[in-house]
Structure 1
Amino acid sequence: MSVAPGWYLDPADPGTRRYWDGEGWLGAPIPAEATPPAGPPPPEPEPTTRPDEPEPDPATRPGEPKSAPATRPGEPGPTTGRAGAVGQHAPVGAGTPSPGYGPPPGAPYPGTAGGPPPGAPYPTWPGQQPEPRPHGLPLAGLGARLVARLIDITVVLALNVVVNFWFVWQYIQQMSPPITEAWRRIVDQDTTTEQLPAAGDQAGSLQIAILLIATALWMAYEVPSTASRGQTFGKRVMGLQVLPVSAVAPLGFGRALRRWNLLGLPTLGWFCCIGFLLQLIDSLSPLFDRPLRQALHDKRAQTVVVQLPRTPVPNDRPAPPGDTS
């Protein structure tokens, strides 16, 4: 709201009056008890400056002090502290005034222990975020984890060849009639619409038995070794280890079983391909997880896969005679 032009008490010096022209103070002040003229004060002559004198500040008008801020009538003016400088405000209970309203430059804000003021955004790390090191160890690389898993799959497959061979052979015999007839039609380009011969009566039960045995062999291979050492054979070869996120300790059977369940139990659904799809999603999940590169089964068990330091093999062989290097 603008104030009408007129003579008003100067907020900076209540003992004087000055003329307010609607935008700022005009002319020199007069005593507060003096009768002000009817209009604005007459313009004062421009002061003449000698060559050796500095030019007047264009931001101030003739006759008014440079330190007097342009405050509107009725607004509180600047107070003069003990030091006598305009704009210094003495805090309540303090003997010495401090400039400005906030703490001195470089001082921490009250109650923040040197940090940013309440409500301010937390400072972010410039550039790329550093890679986390759980328990002081680097995260396992995705390539190393893939190679370790392929080694484990090869070991489990070899166990299945030994244990599951008879069941697989019997299953092939039960499925032979429809497979043989379908292949004959493809080779002979037979377009008959007759149904294929039915599979043997034991094909379904043999399929369930094969999947149960394969799942049990996988669990017996992976869960106990992961529970005690955090390593399968493939992880030992690649120098990897599974650790809890919370502490450096063995996983224990319960946590190792929870970790394996999400990846191993879908093997029972291979007959309809749903189980294989779930395992594929779980295996690819570390590609998109940040920052710990956890697979879905790692998140369920709160575990992380780390790369163990490679200790150099000491060279204890004696040096050949005459070799002092």
Structure 2
Amino acid sequence: MSHPTPPPPHIPPHTPPPDLPGQPGPSGPYAYAPPPYAYAPPPLPGPPPELVAPLGRRFLAKLVDALVMAAIVAGITVPCAVHLETDPEGVTEGLAITGIIFSLLFAFLLYDPALTATGGTVGKRLCGLKVARVETGEQVGFGAALGRHLMAGLINNAMCVPLAYLWCTWDKPFHQGLHDKIVRTVVVRTR
């Protein structure tokens, strides 16, 4: 004895998705539009937008640092130069020249890297800023701070304009200077 075969389940005919305004529908060149991507691209490593240093604060910090460096250089070189002028054949001539060389070396090679590696230059600290690693947000060491400083000097002197610093005005999303991009650092707010 054979059992009757049940009728197949009712399957409704395929109906295309409704036309959306501004998009071609089933009657247009595409009969079916693929769904939007199920995933978003991973975010860029770096600080959240609210921690990125504002350009005005960065400019003010750079101005303060320039004044501090000028005061250091003047405070050492002027007395040394006066001493050389008044006693050109004196025994302390070598000491005066050494003082001038040290002040220039400190101002142009050590001020920014040494203070950046220990938390920030005078200008950055007054403006509530610091230099950090772009991927982790950790403080940079002396090597990275020195590399950042030397790259800025090299780029700015080679181009005869402060391109390394101006770069941050159009860079997105972290407003990194060109020297920051090279050594993978970013300037962030501390307050």
Could you tell me the TM-score, scaled by structure 1's length? 0.39
**Structure 2 Cα separation of the partners of residues 228 and 169 of structure 1:** 34
Corresponding residue of 1:227: 117
Partner of residue 262 from structure 1, selected from 136, 151, 157: 151
CA distance in 1, matches of 2:67, 2:165: 16
**Alpha-carbon RMSD:** 4.0
**Matched position secondary structure for 1:134:** coil
Once the two structures are superposed, the pairs formed by residues 35-50 of structure 1 within 5 Å of their partners are: none
Q: 3-state SS of the aligned residue for 1:145?
A: helix
Larger Rg: 1
More strand by share: 1
- 1:238 equivalent to 2:159? Answer no
**Which runs of 5 or more residues in structure 1 are unaligned?**
1-80, 88-98, 103-113, 125-131, 171-205, 268-273, 310-325
Supply the distance in 2 between the matched residues of 1:301 and 1:137 (Cα, whole angstroms).
22
Change (3 A) 1:100 1:156: same
Corresponding pairs, count: 152
The Cα of 1:161 is off from its aligned counterpart by 0.8
Provide the C-alpha distance between the structure 2 equivalents of 1:135 and 1:260, rounded to a whole number of angstroms.
Answer: 24
**TM-score computed with the length of structure 2 as normaliser:** 0.63
> Residues 135 and 168 from structure 1, CA distance in 2 versus in 1: closer, same or farther, beyond 3 angstroms?
farther
Pick 1 or 2: higher relative contact order, CA cutoff 8 A, min separation 6. Answer: 2
CA distance in 2, matches of 1:211, 1:276: 26
Alignment of 1:70-81 (within 5 A): none
List gaps (5 residues or longer) in structure 2: 1-6, 18-34, 85-96
1:304 is aligned to: 186
1:84, CA displacement in angstroms? 4.4
Residue 116 (structure 1) aligns with? 37
Residue 68 of structure 2 aligns to a residue in which SS? helix
Q: Deviation string for 1:194-230 (max 9, x for gaps)?
A: xxxxxxxxxxxx9xxx79953542322111121121x
Residues 101, 211 of structure 1: alpha-carbon distance in 2 compared, 3 angstrom cutoff? farther
Alignment of 1:1-325 (within 5 A): 82-84=8-10, 87=13, 99=14, 116=37, 134=47, 138-165=51-78, 166=80, 214-229=104-119, 231-264=120-153, 274=157, 277-278=160-161, 280-309=162-191
